[in-house]
Structure 1
């Protein structure tokens, strides 16, 4: 046998061995289907507890397509590897989870395995949901099984090779899934432990607010350091103390339950529907989340804590000067210092805005491009979109202006490139 033949034989054997290992790691037995349990088979208190769990987990946000039925799936979830479509979690037998037993539902939540045994993509945050208690999982099951069944098939996922095949998920789970509940920290009180459980588990905050590595896992040691989701920057949750006006617990609770906070601004993008869900749960849950988040703040450079408006601004750049004209025409009515929205509506100045004081111009550009849609009784968060009104250069000029005028944190660079990038991302969705 020649050297080349030996190498080919060894290589072939390694490929076969890897395929066998992958098959063993991936294989999970199917769990027998059941007839859908009647909604009346679950007691009222369990279903009410389930509504609380489902709201804290933001299940309706990801499992409801635009214009679709609640929990019926079909929402496209953009990832760096392609698009995943959320599944139907109504109790429909053919297209939803109507034939799933509590055992099958628990396995999916804890281990990311479907009833028929195939592995689920981690866009479903089972690496966080695995921390849920048996009681919370059973309550969520009761609530979902009591919803109206909807016959709806999600579009096929559109992922790059080889991630359009599921075997690699077995190796991904070895790296990132640490299954099971977590013990409470006996050095902390009950509220803190409840908050940690909600942030790290059911609320899966790190799924959006952490940077991802090359294979889509949350970067080790960087939990809650900030991430990117749906074209928006999810700000670091461990730097709330570095805001121009550091967040207080009262403000954080108000923001999470209403989408607005004095001296900080309004929720937008993917965070806005999260606040709507949190408005429906007992305030004690949100108090616990705020307590935990404020306990994990990292020390920040002193330069980040300069009070907004405390220093004179340098002469504005030509771009900022052009932006000033646009601001006066389209923005000052709401955001100018004499605007009724601030003097009467008690809305915060842009000097305290998280987007305006962020490390990148992404959210400022996104806010001007996309705005904040009209939501009926939530109209106080409304802001019109300017993507069809202003060019990329004009939006960049506006971004330069608001940064130069309202922030003490230095000029952003390459704003034009960011605006063009965000617009392209938005158009691709």
Structure 2
């Protein structure tokens, strides 16, 4: 599931035509309940594989509320149509999926229909999960059915009429749910095809990094062209990327595996959760994802390559003189930022080179505002980047002045518009909990359950 998932609206339902026809499309039978299977009934290796797949799918973060029990649901997912809450996917027999058969689980993954026959809102990204294989669905099922059961009744979604009627989702599916869209490409390597399978399926990268239409579905004509999630901008991960230095396969692997790269900065916001999970899976799968995504970025044009080389050369030279037009922001930068960001020291005691920051070179200031206000918390037990937040010590006007200064000093892009309003919105959004990775990198979560059901 993705936090930026969007439900279809009533306009999609109107496309279903005729009451009888709509009922035929919308109705799905219930699948019989089962007695909760015993954890010992699942093969240990299958459970272990399911754990890695759940990490690739970011399942734990989307189904674990802040301060709540693992996989017990309750995470609010804001959409333009209202707020939807993630569900309990622990094996609790009453409030979770304990009485779901593997067939019921697979139907939810492929068709977005729960055991009782109700349509699921596509904040659960079954438009991607429909590409997951039977074998991987079985491993995910084994993993979830061996978690600790948690009694956690579903929270009531906050949707206005008629969007609170799930029958309308059937119309959305007619328009936008296309099964079996993943096809291996025989002209590509096995690694590339593995990456394509993961990116287009379980990892559902496009759910955040692809813009959506008025009905909340991904615009397939603009795949990976950038999207919005939880008051963050998910940058384009194709040739439209605003990164000062072009991405390549090696940089993508390091960033996805370690959460940072010297030429591209540190993963923050929802992406911090993603790389925190990817750090726990087989390196070969991360390498495959990097291989496929490098192909989506494409080889840089000669001009793009020269721009990247110039950015790297400038990053190694002395900082450019501060612009007098941004004197207030320059003073704030000198007092609060320069000590770390111009020290030349590696993390965690030195800051990234701001001349290589995509947040500063990006199309809007949202991500940079979030970082300045909330900071960057370290990963426990690791030499990871760290930065204090300035929400308590800077006013909105001061943060806006700093952002304007950083834009003019460390990028060759035009000034942003509406910076103060963006800062106000970022302060209200409270993105602090997304400012850190999910846990120590390269260490399996739930170690006590890692190798046994």
With over 3 angstroms needed to count, the CA separation of the structure-2 counterparts of 1:408 and 1:15, relative to structure 1, is closer
Q: Does the 8 Å CA contact 2:344/2:350 hold for their aligned counterparts?
A: no
The alpha carbon displacement at 1:302 in A equals 4.4
* Matching of residue 316 in structure 1 with residue 323 in structure 2: yes
User: 1:144-197 CA distances to partner (integer Å, 9 max, x unpaired)?
Assistant: 101110111232111233222212211110111111363311111110111111
**Which moves more between the two structures, 380-389 or 186-195?**
380-389
The answer for unaligned runs of 5 or more in structure 2 is 1-13, 434-453
* Matching of residue 404 in structure 1 with residue 411 in structure 2: no
SS where residue 376 of structure 1 aligns? coil
Equivalent in the alignment of 1:43: 43
Residues in 1 aligned to 2:33 and 2:17: alpha-carbon distance in whole angstroms:
33
The alpha carbon displacement at 1:339 in A equals 5.2
The alpha carbon displacement at 1:414 in A equals 2.2
SS where residue 77 of structure 1 aligns? strand
The answer for unaligned runs of 5 or more in structure 1 is 1-13
With over 3 angstroms needed to count, the CA separation of the structure-2 counterparts of 1:409 and 1:304, relative to structure 1, is farther
Equivalent in the alignment of 1:332: 338
Residues in 2 aligned to 1:218 and 1:324: alpha-carbon distance in whole angstroms:
40
Residues in 2 aligned to 1:49 and 1:30: alpha-carbon distance in whole angstroms:
29
RMSD over aligned CA atoms reads 2.6
With over 3 angstroms needed to count, the CA separation of the structure-2 counterparts of 1:405 and 1:304, relative to structure 1, is farther
Equivalent in the alignment of 1:19: 19
User: 1:262-298 CA distances to partner (integer Å, 9 max, x unpaired)?
Assistant: 1111111111111111011110001111111111225
Q: Does the 8 Å CA contact 2:37/2:145 hold for their aligned counterparts?
A: yes
* Matching of residue 155 in structure 1 with residue 155 in structure 2: yes
Residues in 1 aligned to 2:239 and 2:59: alpha-carbon distance in whole angstroms:
27
Equivalent in the alignment of 1:58: 58
With over 3 angstroms needed to count, the CA separation of the structure-2 counterparts of 1:378 and 1:176, relative to structure 1, is farther
* Matching of residue 389 in structure 1 with residue 393 in structure 2: yes
Between the two structures, name the one with larger relative contact order (CA 8 Å, sep ≥ 6).
Answer: 2
Residues in 2 aligned to 1:313 and 1:211: alpha-carbon distance in whole angstroms:
35
Equivalent in the alignment of 1:4: none
* Matching of residue 271 in structure 1 with residue 271 in structure 2: yes
User: 1:107-143 CA distances to partner (integer Å, 9 max, x unpaired)?
Assistant: 0000000000000010001000100000000010011
Q: Does the 8 Å CA contact 1:257/1:286 hold for their aligned counterparts?
A: yes
Residues in 1 aligned to 2:384 and 2:344: alpha-carbon distance in whole angstroms:
14
**Which moves more between the two structures, 414-423 or 289-298?**
414-423
**Which moves more between the two structures, 295-304 or 34-43?**
295-304
Residues in 2 aligned to 1:285 and 1:70: alpha-carbon distance in whole angstroms:
24
Equivalent in the alignment of 1:245: 245
Residues in 2 aligned to 1:423 and 1:304: alpha-carbon distance in whole angstroms:
36
Equivalent in the alignment of 1:368: 372
* Matching of residue 112 in structure 1 with residue 118 in structure 2: no
* Matching of residue 280 in structure 1 with residue 280 in structure 2: yes
Residues in 2 aligned to 1:292 and 1:390: alpha-carbon distance in whole angstroms:
42
With over 3 angstroms needed to count, the CA separation of the structure-2 counterparts of 1:58 and 1:182, relative to structure 1, is same
User: 1:26-49 CA distances to partner (integer Å, 9 max, x unpaired)?
Assistant: 110000000111111111111111
Residues in 2 aligned to 1:387 and 1:420: alpha-carbon distance in whole angstroms:
11
TM-score of the two chains, using structure 2 as the length reference: 0.85
The alpha carbon displacement at 1:354 in A equals 1.3
The alpha carbon displacement at 1:326 in A equals 1.0
With over 3 angstroms needed to count, the CA separation of the structure-2 counterparts of 1:60 and 1:16, relative to structure 1, is closer
With over 3 angstroms needed to count, the CA separation of the structure-2 counterparts of 1:325 and 1:301, relative to structure 1, is farther
With over 3 angstroms needed to count, the CA separation of the structure-2 counterparts of 1:16 and 1:385, relative to structure 1, is closer
Equivalent in the alignment of 1:214: 214
With over 3 angstroms needed to count, the CA separation of the structure-2 counterparts of 1:411 and 1:215, relative to structure 1, is same
With over 3 angstroms needed to count, the CA separation of the structure-2 counterparts of 1:374 and 1:227, relative to structure 1, is same
SS where residue 228 of structure 1 aligns? strand
**Which moves more between the two structures, 411-420 or 235-244?**
235-244
Alignment of structure 1 residues 288-299 onto 2, 5 Å = 288-297=288-297
The structure whose Rg is larger is 1
Q: Does the 8 Å CA contact 2:225/2:240 hold for their aligned counterparts?
A: no
User: 1:195-236 CA distances to partner (integer Å, 9 max, x unpaired)?
Assistant: 111111110000011111111111130111011101111011
With over 3 angstroms needed to count, the CA separation of the structure-2 counterparts of 1:400 and 1:305, relative to structure 1, is farther
Residues in 1 aligned to 2:274 and 2:413: alpha-carbon distance in whole angstroms:
29
Aligned residues: 412
Residues in 2 aligned to 1:362 and 1:301: alpha-carbon distance in whole angstroms:
30
* Matching of residue 123 in structure 1 with residue 123 in structure 2: yes
Alignment of structure 1 residues 188-227 onto 2, 5 Å = 188-227=188-227
The alpha carbon displacement at 1:246 in A equals 1.7
Residues in 2 aligned to 1:35 and 1:386: alpha-carbon distance in whole angstroms:
52
The alpha carbon displacement at 1:21 in A equals 2.6
Equivalent in the alignment of 2:134: 134
Alignment of structure 1 residues 416-427 onto 2, 5 Å = 416-426=420-430
**Which moves more between the two structures, 43-52 or 233-242?**
233-242
**Which moves more between the two structures, 57-66 or 325-334?**
325-334
Equivalent in the alignment of 1:6: none
